[in-house]
Amino acid sequence: MAQSSVETPTRTALTAEQMKQTMSKLQAELTAKYGQDQAIRIRRGLHQVVEFWREDDGNTAVYEDFVSKNFAGDQASLDIMFDRFQRLLEQLDGHMHEIVREFRNQQDLDIGPVRTYDETFGGYDPSAHVLDDFFQNKLAFTVLLNFPLTTLDERINFGPKWTRRQWAETRLAQRFSKRIPADVNLAIAQAAAESDNYITSYNIWMHHLVDDQGRRLFPPKMRLLSHWNLRDEIKADYVDSKDGLAKQRIIQHVMERIITQSIPQAVVDNPHVDWNPFTNQVTPAGVNDSDSTAQDGDKISATPEPSTRYAMLLKTYHAARLADPYSPTEPTLIARRFEDNRELPEDRVQAMLEQVLTSPLVPQVAKLIESRLGRPLEPFDIWYSGFRPGSKHSEAELDALVAKKYPAAETYQKDIPNLLMKLGFSSERAQNLAARIVVDPARGAGHAMGAEMRTEKAHLRTRVEKSGMNYKGFNVAAHEMGHNVEQTISLNEVDYTLLQGVPNTAFTEGFAFVFQAQDMHLLGLASPDARSEALKTLNDFWGTYEIAGVALVDMAVWHWMYDHPEATPEELREATLQISKDLWNKFYAPVFNQKDVVLLGVYSHMIDSFMYLPDYPIGHLIAFQIEEQMKKAGNIGSEFERMAKMGRVTPDLWMENATGKPVGAEALLSATDEALKQVKSRP
Ligand SMILES: [Zn+2]
């Protein structure tokens, strides 16, 4: 080992020089063979292969042999290659997905007990090594030699002029735009799992929170996971006219102590201590509401958590950076998130979010909330949940109606053509789509699982109780049916299967929301009136305003980490607090009349999800655009088909085709403007 590591540098240098000569030689030979008009393709292909070629792929002779045998230098052979890859990759993806679905069935469906081995089957990913295999057997290099790798910039600027075939070729090449070594992927997965573990056990025992009067505001046994359950409790407390406000204030303090890490370590997931989040005093538990008993070793101490939250985040950053050198077109996690996953440039996303945050509608909606609350806004009111319209029908009434209509999953299955016709699909199309959707009884709340090849069907998983389907189940089924119809059209009707699907998950959610919003109509009842629609829009707007700031914190924190690669957890904590305060002061303080609030830094995804948070506000905006377009068009069926056939191009190009405008905030803002008028006209 030692010997070869000394020799390696000279040998590598020699190889690089040899490789250069080989490339020049191949360039000349292939150009002579296929003509000058292939010169650019040849140069590009030679470079794309070299960029990913490793020592163990073979020496220059192997490279030379590979290139001479696999370059498709005329249109006819390129067409054959393209068709073959498209057809076989559809088979690969489709069958892999079929295995995954079968392996997960016991876990996903309501079909009897789940045994330990069922969980192992469910966690198995048969395609985990496909990319490695394709580089090893050089099929990946065949693609890289013949089809163009692109940057997001090129896809945005030239994409609108490309043919559909060029788009399909682009997506084909993109599959092989990264060659991340297995040990790097493993390190990333480990950091993700470690931070995920930290997050999923971060519970607060609510009955053990005491205020200055020693009161316990929350019921025994209530254990809330940070931050999701804490936030949802704040939302739920709006209807508690007695203690709601006091509860919300105490939760805000808990959240702030988590963010600043002044939270005593001893109170995290521990029912054996009481804690006053205002004074930060910790005392032995005055009541016992858990199954476990206090251990002698349990410390009753107010020693703060030692910035573990930020140590976890730093670990994910260090792991993510390991992939940077293997991703030449997107060499940072930030670039991979925006340019690869989202395909929206970061500065555009930033501008869209700021457009919402600085909208003159913010102070207007804030005022409306204040008047509905009858008090000035407090920081936790970023989670205000009171724009919910009342329903004409009681839940029990709806449950009975749905249970009678759908006593079992098969009855829903049989009714799908009828439901689709109610949404404006022609009878023939409705029959055709319904034949490609299988309804299964779900173990959980329900989900939609599309197919990945045309010979497979989409699966709609919905919950059916022994007493029949209930209203909640029907509402979820309508949502999932929206996903299934999108999945079916965008797989079967798209011109190239390499383009199957939608640009990202926000798009399919938009389709699902459109179906879900029609649930009353589908049941033969009156659809929500204009006022209910307006309240829903205001709710969407306020939710987008909240999550836009959270997303900007996530983005700024990742930039800070890339700018300070040697930072300690304490330094990261200080930076995160400053970023949270700065963004609050800029976009929230003007309507909340309070400065230096750190609440925007509370989201747990920021710690374990590798800059996932911007997906939420972008998703709101995209789904809203799709819903608005459907409303404008009037006919859901034909509009749905037209949109879903576009396939997986860039989000902007897709949205231009669907609505005439790129992805943006205007649809939400103008609908909010209208909604404000509607709600104000009839208080
Ligand atoms: Zn969904």
Q: Of residues 1 and 420, which shows the higher confidence score?
A: 420
424 C-alpha vs ligand 1 centroid, how far in Å?
Answer: 21
Percent of the chain residues past pLDDT 70, beyond the cut: 97
Q: How far is the CA of 190 from the centre of ligand 1 (A)?
A: 28
Q: Are strands 223-225 and 446-449 parallel, antiparallel or unpaired?
A: unpaired
Q: In 3-state terms, what secondary structure has residue 180?
A: coil
What's the whole-number mean pLDDT along residues 281-291?
Answer: 92
Q: How far apart are CA 368 and CA 372, in angstroms?
A: 6
Distance 94 CA to ligand 1 centre (A): 21
Ligand 1 centroid – CA 519 distance (Å) = 15
Q: How far is the CA of 353 from the centre of ligand 1 (A)?
A: 22
Contact (CB, 8 A) for 644 and 502: yes
320-330 average pLDDT score: 91
- Amino acid type, 399: D
Confidence of residue 296 (pLDDT cuts 50, 70, 90): low
**Cα(288) to centroid of ligand 1, in Å?**
40
Distance from the alpha carbon of residue 618 to the mean position of ligand 1, in angstroms = 15
For ligand 1, the distance from its centroid to the CA atom of residue 507, given in whole angstroms, is 10
Cα angle 294-299-300, degrees, rounded to a multiple of 5: 95
Report the 10 Å Cβ neighbour count for 56: 6
Going from the Cα of 483 to the center of ligand 1, the distance in angstroms, rounded, reads 7
Give residue 229 CA to ligand 1 midpoint distance, Å: 20
Q: What are the φ/ψ torsions at residue 621 (nearest 5 degrees)?
A: -65, -45
Q: Which residue in the block uniquely carries the two structure tokens 């203690």?
A: 243
pLDDT of 275 over the 80 cut: yes
Q: Is the pLDDT of residue 8 over 70?
A: no
Query: Do 654 and 502 contact (CB within 8 A), yes or no?
Result: yes
Task: Please write the tens of the pLDDT for every residue from 114-161.
Answer: 999 998 998 888 988 899 999 999 999 999 999 999 999 999 999 999
Residue 682's pLDDT is 66
- At residue 391, what are phi and psi to the nearest 5 degrees? -110, 150
Rg (CA), the chain: 28
- pLDDT value of residue 633: 87
The closest alpha carbon to 200, from 223, 222, 218, belongs to: 223
Q: How confident is the model at residue 4 (pLDDT cuts 50, 70, 90)?
A: very low
Give me ligand 1 centre to Cα 215, in Å. Answer: 41
Mean predicted confidence (pLDDT) in 557-586: 98
Cα 578 to averaged position of ligand 1 atoms, centre (Å) = 35
Q: pLDDT tens, 437-469?
A: 999 988 887 889 999 999 999 999 988 888 999
Ligand 1 centroid distance, CA of 476 (Å): 9
* Cα torsion angle, 402, 404, 410, 414, sign: negative
Compute the distance from residue 167 Cα to the ligand 1 centre, in Å: 27
Q: How far is the CA of 514 from the centre of ligand 1 (A)?
A: 11
Query: CB of 324 within 8 A of CB of 332?
Result: yes
Give 512 Cα–ligand 1 centroid separation in angstroms.
Answer: 6
| Residue 673: per-residue pLDDT | 97
pLDDT in tens, 62-97: 999 999 999 999 999 999 999 999 999 999 999 999
**What is the per-residue pLDDT across 20-66, written as a single tens digit (0 to 9) for each?**
999 999 999 999 999 999 999 999 999 999 999 998 999 999 999 99
Mean pLDDT, the chain, rounded, equals 93
Find the 484 Cα to ligand 1 centroid distance in Å. 10
Output the pLDDT for position 635. Answer: 85
Q: How far is the CA of 521 from the centre of ligand 1 (A)?
A: 20
Residue 314 Cα to ligand 1 middle (Å): 31
Region at 648 (left for phi over 0; alpha for psi -120 to 50; beta for the rest): beta
pTM value is 0.88
- Give the CA distances from residue 229 to residues 234, 236, 564, in Å, rounded to whole numbers and listed in that order: 9, 10, 32
Strands 458-462 and 446-449: antiparallel
Q: Note the pLDDT of residue 527.
A: 80
**Per-residue pLDDT at 575:** 98
pLDDT tens digits, one per residue of 414-444: 999 999 999 999 999 999 999 999 999 888 8
Whether residue 390 has pLDDT greater than 90? no
d(CA 248, CA 396): 30
Q: What does the alpha-carbon distance between residue 317 and residue 383 come to, in Å, rounded to a whole number?
A: 29
Query: What mean pLDDT comes out for the span 216-223?
Result: 95
- Residue 472 Cα to ligand 1 midpoint, Å, equals 14
Residue 676: predicted pLDDT: 96
Task: Output the pLDDT for position 297.
Answer: 62
Q: Look at residue 188 and tell me whether its pLDDT is greater than 80.
A: yes
How many angstroms is it from 620 CA to the middle of ligand 1? 12
Q: d(Cα 309, Cα 230) in Å, to the nearest integer?
A: 17
pLDDT at 7: 36
What's the pLDDT at 268? 96
Q: For helices 308-322 and 530-563, give the axis angle rounded to 10 degrees.
A: 80
**426 CA to centre of ligand 1 in angstroms:** 24
Report how far ligand 1's centroid is from the alpha carbon of 485 (Å): 12
Distance 420 CA to ligand 1 centre (A): 18
H/E element, 224: strand 223-225
11 pLDDT band, cuts 50/70/90, is very low
> What confidence category does residue 224 fall into, taking pLDDT thresholds of 50, 70 and 90?
very high
pLDDT tens figures, 475-524: 999 999 999 999 999 999 999 999 999 998 889 988 998 999 899 999 99
Q: Report how far ligand 1's centroid is from the alpha carbon of 481 (Å).
A: 9
Output the CA 540–ligand 1 centroid distance in Å: 16
> How far is the centre of ligand 1, averaged over its atoms, from the C-alpha of 502 (Å)?
13
Measure 624 CA to ligand 1 centroid, in angstroms.
14
Share of the chain above pLDDT 90, in %: 82
Mean predicted confidence (pLDDT) in 575-601: 98
Number of H helices, E strands in the chain: 30, 7
